[in-house]
Structure 1
């Protein structure tokens, strides 16, 4: 069996969307002025981690 490397960008983005989805389901409607920057920052962080891991793997 051949193993593949973890795709950190997809993993972190998926966890972010799951967390935001759970927040919407369990609590009253959150303020979009708070959730939008959290989403954008989280996706930016996931992209940054993905770029860094790809650069480290190429060495």
Structure 2
């Protein structure tokens, strides 16, 4: 049995993996930019999740 993709969780996970890799490559923190990337990235993931749910209901 297959289940539907949870786009919010997938994109949020990829965002956190990307942030983790960024800090492994360059450990010097740039807190303001990373906070903005995190906020807008989670916002984008939420938007995609809402759109996917709306399309699925049709």
Gaps of 5+ in 1: none
**What's the TM-score, normalizing by structure 2?**
0.95
| In 1, Cα distance between equivalents of 2:24 and 2:7 | 26
Q: RMSD over aligned Cα, in angstroms? A: 0.7
| In 2, Cα distance between equivalents of 1:54 and 1:25 | 34
Gaps of 5+ in 2: none
Q: Which runs of 4+ in 1 moved over 2 A?
A: none
For each residue in 1:9-50, what CA deviation from the matched residue of structure 2 results, as whole angstroms up to 9, or x when unmatched? 000000000000000111131310110000000000000000
1:45 aligns with 2:44: yes
**What's the TM-score, normalizing by structure 1?**
0.94
